[in-house]
Amino acid sequence: MASVSVLDIGRTTTRRQSLWRSLRGELKGSEYTWALAFCVPYLGVFLAFVVYPALYGLWLGSEPSLYSELFSDPIYQSTVVNTLLFIGIGVNLKMFIALLLSGFFMRPGWWVKVMLMIFILPWAVPALPSFISIHWMLNGEWGLLNNLLYAMFHIDGPSWLNERWTALGAVIVSHIWKWTPFWTVILLAGRMAIPTEINDAALVDGATGMRKFIFVSFPLLANLYLICTLLSTIFTLGDFNEVYFITGGGPANLTHVLATLGVRNAFDLAQPRLGVAAVMSALPLMIPLVIVLMRKLKTSEVQL
């Protein structure tokens, strides 16, 4: 008997569930068939459109010779650097700005709510028109940005998209422009979920401003912040539209990221295997992220 209770220490939840089940009764006969039938449509979609393409992709990219060809390609090398910069700088800067802005939007007052309505506009506008607009805005000769620079300071701005680093910078800044509102709203919801008692207690103890943020708000938000950063990293890794529409991978294919390089190899160069290989080379970075994230999403009590 004693050994049973020792074993049960870590298992209270499963045991309670089975007790629960025995009270309610297992699904029987036709009910089980119904339950199974309800799952079938999703399982069908999953097998046909996720498992099958994934396995097919793995098979397409399974030749080792592809990777030696890929790694020796200078375009691929610059692509890896771009991808790391895009994710490293873009995602972290965006999340940090979102964290700070979510604090700003906690302020009371109707004008803060109006600001929030304006602020979420980049998220509401579909990606395609905004990125095409940014592409045109950054045109060296006729773009709005250089026209503004000239009108205000009489400076002739550079052709932003004709040089690798300014073009990559433009992509990162546009990413921040497009996605900060979304994450701000998420973090704002996280902040609102913090019970007011905690804030009041902190105020009574004399914590204000910076100290309250560091010792009270941030520790409570840390888990949410981490999950958001990981999710955003994965979404950004697969982001195709930004680079494709703002720089088109140019100048001279120097600003590709893995997602656009894969599509370029597969369709512009008509080498689908090489395209799959480019995408697959992100797996060493992606798999650990996916594992950590799946655990976090499943166990986390934080309401996202």
Partner 1 sequence: MSTITVDTRLPSASARPGERMRRIARRRRYVMNVGAAILCAILIVWTLTPIYNIVMVSLQPHGDVFSDEIWPSNPTLEGFWVVITQGYWYLEYFWHQFGNSLYVGAAVTLLTLAIGSLASFSITRMRIRNGWVVSNAALLTYVIPQSFLAIPFYRIMQSYGLANNLWSVIAAMVTFATPYAIFIFSQYGRGIPLELDESARIDGASPIQIYFKIYLPLMAPALVAIGTYALLLAWNEYLYQFLLLSDKHSMTVPVALAQFLNSDEAPWNLMMATAIVYAILPITIYYVVRRRMTAGLTMGGVKG
Stretch that binds partner 1, among 39-47, 74-82, 163-171, 215-223 (CB under 8 A): 39-47
Tell me whether residue 168 or residue 183 sits nearer to partner 1 (CB atom). 183
Q: Which residues 76-105 are close enough to bind partner 1 by CB under 8 A? A: 101, 104
Least separation in angstroms between residue 294's CB and partner 1 is 5
Among candidates 7, 97, 54, which has minimal Cα distance to 283?
54
Contact pick of 7, 19, 45, 81 for partner 1 (by CB under 8 A) = 45
Tell me whether residue 45 or residue 214 sits nearer to partner 1 (CB atom). 45
Sign of the alpha-carbon torsion through 207, 210, 213, 214: negative
154 lies in the site for partner 1, by CB under 8 A: no
DSSP string for 146-209: HHHHHHHH------GGGSHHHHHHHHHHHHHHHHHHHHHHHHHHHHHTS-HHHHHHHHHTT--H
Give the list of residues 6+ apart from residue 276 with CB closer than 8 angstroms, or none.
57, 60, 61, 262, 266
Is 299 within 8 Å of 223 (Cβ atoms)?
no
Is 275 within 8 Å of 263 (Cβ atoms)?
yes
239 CB burial (10 A radius; 0-12, 13-18, 19+):
buried
Tell me whether residue 2 or residue 110 sits nearer to partner 1 (CB atom). 110
One symbol per residue from 242 to 271: x for binding partner 1 (CB under 8 A), - otherwise; what is it?
Answer: ---x-------------x--xx--xx----
240 lies in the site for partner 1, by CB under 8 A: yes
185 lies in the site for partner 1, by CB under 8 A: yes
235 lies in the site for partner 1, by CB under 8 A: yes
Contact pick of 98, 228, 247, 253 for partner 1 (by CB under 8 A) = 228
- The end-to-end CA distance of the chain, in Å, is 42
DSSP code for 250: -
194 lies in the site for partner 1, by CB under 8 A: no
Least separation in angstroms between residue 74's CB and partner 1 is 22
Q: How far lies 64's CA from each of 68, 73, 263, in Å?
A: 7, 15, 20
Tell me whether residue 74 or residue 126 sits nearer to partner 1 (CB atom). 126
108 lies in the site for partner 1, by CB under 8 A: no
9 lies in the site for partner 1, by CB under 8 A: no
CA distance 102 to 282: 32
Stretch that binds partner 1, among 19-27, 63-71, 78-86, 199-207 (CB under 8 A): 19-27
Stretch that binds partner 1, among 64-72, 164-172, 181-189, 195-203 (CB under 8 A): 181-189
Is 148 within 8 Å of 224 (Cβ atoms)?
no
Tell me whether residue 1 or residue 160 sits nearer to partner 1 (CB atom). 160
Least separation in angstroms between residue 9's CB and partner 1 is 22
Stretch that binds partner 1, among 7-15, 114-122, 160-168, 195-203 (CB under 8 A): 114-122
